């Protein structure tokens, strides 16, 4: 081929994958990722594997949790706002780790995208890095994969795996739970990252509400309400467990409050929870009203305003509440653990919600 001839053969770029765009995305988000670090991190970005020095423990147990954000991403993509869903991603992983008392050490993300727009990828990673800082863990690495033909240009999906550690002697779980333990609720920041298929169906499809429309009950637009980032409880839970007799936690995600708490209540016991101790936020009431969604369906789909639950010894309940309040976490006494009656093991909700 002479110098003035053009190569018209197939190429990776012609197939829809731009190595240059990927490299540019790394350039943009590298400074953000470097801020989300810990002293135990070894090496830097760009290696084939992230390195982390475990440190000194007597009997360390490693914990790992993987998750994604779900169809909340559809809202972010519709609004062309990509800098908050990273916090959702981190929260869904690290707040699962702290249920057993594990301290989140590091997280690795995976971004699958139809077409790499460097600024969009950097915006996503910005949210992930900020979430890692809030959780006290390092963003150890990740992968961005361009999927032309499989995903449209504006589409992407994210997932991550977080790894933590807990001393075996400090492991939290159902075996620590006792009759008389107090169940403490920690308020959610909103829908968090669950139930968005139902929320979108009711609000956007059934009722055709515009994402940029102001909603009086929310005090902001519908889109802003739906993109409210998931609260990260990791540091609060770890500090609480260090100062109070915490027996276990429950992260309230898919399945709702009762189902998730039941996962950490041992056989023979039940956690009785009182709805009258709180009023669900307006977004939950709006979905229920506009979609005519019954209470049982709402409660198994959404967190209803409770994002994390602590099960603590009765003697430490007031101290735990005071600590959470001092950390600016809206917390309250939700119920208590009692011996189960036949067929009532796990967790049950009683009473009626407060009026909002």
Q: What is the pLDDT of residues 92-108, one digit of tens each?
A: 999 999 999 999 999 99
The class of domain 174-350 in CATH terms is alpha beta
Tokens of 150: 């499989």
| DSSP character at residue 295 | H
Amino acid 1: pLDDT? 46
* pLDDT value at 290 more than 50: yes
The pLDDT assigned to 278 comes to 98
Closest by Cα among 67, 80, 223 to 153:
80
- Residue 188 · residue 131 · CB < 8 Å: no
Tokens of 199: 């929320």
Residues 6+ positions from 217 with CB-CB distance below 8 Å = 282, 285, 286
Threshold 0.85, pTM exceeds:
yes
The whole-angstrom separation of Cα 240 and Cα 207 is: 42
pLDDT tens across 261-280, in order?
999 999 999 999 999 999 99
State which fold the 18-41+61-170 domain adopts: 60s Ribosomal Protein L30; Chain: A; (3.30.1330)
What tokens does 271 get? Answer: 């956690």
**What is the H or E stretch that residue 76 is in?**
helix 72-79
Report the pLDDT averaged over residues 210-232: 97
Q: Which region among 68-77, 125-134, 328-337, 343-352 has the lowest average model confidence (pLDDT)? A: 343-352
6 falls in which pLDDT band (50, 70, 90)?
A: low
* Cα dihedral 141/147/148/149 (nearest 10): -170
Residue 5 has pLDDT above 70, yes or no: no
Nearest Cα to Cα of residue 224 among 79, 356, 70: 79
Q: Could you tell me which of 291, 287, 336 has the C-alpha nearest to residue 311?
A: 336
Q: Are 69 and 91 in contact (CB under 8 A)?
A: no
Percent of the chain whose predicted confidence (pLDDT) is above 90:
76
Say if residue 9's pLDDT is above 50: yes
CA distances from 45 to 27, 131, 289 (A): 11, 18, 48
First to last CA, the chain: 75
Number of H helices, E strands in the chain: 11, 14
Per-residue pLDDT for 294 more than 80?
A: yes
Could you state, in order of their start, the residue ranges of all structural domains in the chain? 18-41+61-170, 174-350
What is the pLDDT confidence band of residue 300, given thresholds at 50, 70 and 90?
very high
pLDDT tens-place string over residues 55-106: 888 999 999 999 999 999 999 999 999 999 999 999 999 999 999 999 999 9
Q: Are strands 103-113 and 346-350 parallel, antiparallel or unpaired?
A: unpaired
Q: Is the pLDDT of residue 15 over 90?
A: no
- Give the whole-angstrom CA distance, residue 197 versus residue 154: 19
User: 115-172, pLDDT tens digit by residue?
Assistant: 888 888 889 999 999 999 999 999 998 888 989 888 898 899 999 999 999 999 999 9
């Amino acid at each position: 081929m002479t110098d003035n001839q053009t190569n018209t053969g197939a190429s990776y770029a012609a197939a829809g994958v731009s190595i240059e765009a990927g490299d540019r995305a790394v350039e943009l988000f590298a400074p953000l990722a470097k801020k989300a670090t810990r002293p135990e991190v070894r090496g830097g970005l760009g290696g084939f594997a992230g390195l982390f020095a475990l440190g000194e423990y007597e009997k360390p147990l490693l914990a790992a949790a993987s998750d994604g954000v779900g169809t909340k991403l559809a809202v972010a993509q519709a609004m062309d706002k990509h800098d908050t869903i990273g916090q959702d991603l981190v929260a869904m992983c690290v707040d699962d780790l702290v249920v057993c008392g594990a301290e989140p050490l590091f997280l690795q993300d995976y971004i699958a995208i139809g077409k790499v727009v460097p600024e969009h990828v950097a915006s996503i990673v910005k949210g992930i890095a900020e979430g890692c800082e809030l959780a006290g863990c390092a963003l150890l690495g990740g992968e961005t994969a361009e999927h032309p033909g499989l995903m449209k240009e504006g589409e992407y999906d994210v997932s991550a795996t977080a790894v933590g550690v807990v001393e075996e002697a400090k492991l939290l779980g159902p075996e620590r739970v006792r009759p008389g333990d107090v169940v403490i609720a920690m308020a959610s920041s909103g829908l968090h990252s669950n139930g968005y298929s139902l929320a979108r169906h009711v609000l956007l499809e059934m009722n055709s509400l515009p994402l940029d429309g102001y909603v009086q009950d929310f005090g902001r637009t519908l889109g802003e309400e739906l993109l409210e980032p998931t609260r990260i409880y990791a540091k609060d839970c770890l500090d609480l467990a260090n100062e109070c007799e915490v027996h276990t936690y429950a992260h309230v995600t898919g399945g709702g409050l009762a189902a998730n708490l039941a996962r950490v209540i041992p056989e023979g016991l039940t956690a009785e929870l009182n709805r009258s101790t709180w009023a669900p936020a307006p977004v939950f009431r709006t979905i229920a009203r506009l979609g005519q969604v019954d209470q049982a369906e709402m409660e198994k789909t959404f967190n209803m305003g409770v994002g994390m639950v602590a099960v603590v010894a009765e003697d430490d309940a007031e101290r735990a509440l005071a600590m959470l309040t001092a950390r600016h976490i809206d917390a309250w006494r939700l119920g208590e653990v009692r011996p189960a009656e036949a067929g009532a093991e796990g967790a049950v909700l009683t009473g009626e919600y407060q009026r909002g």
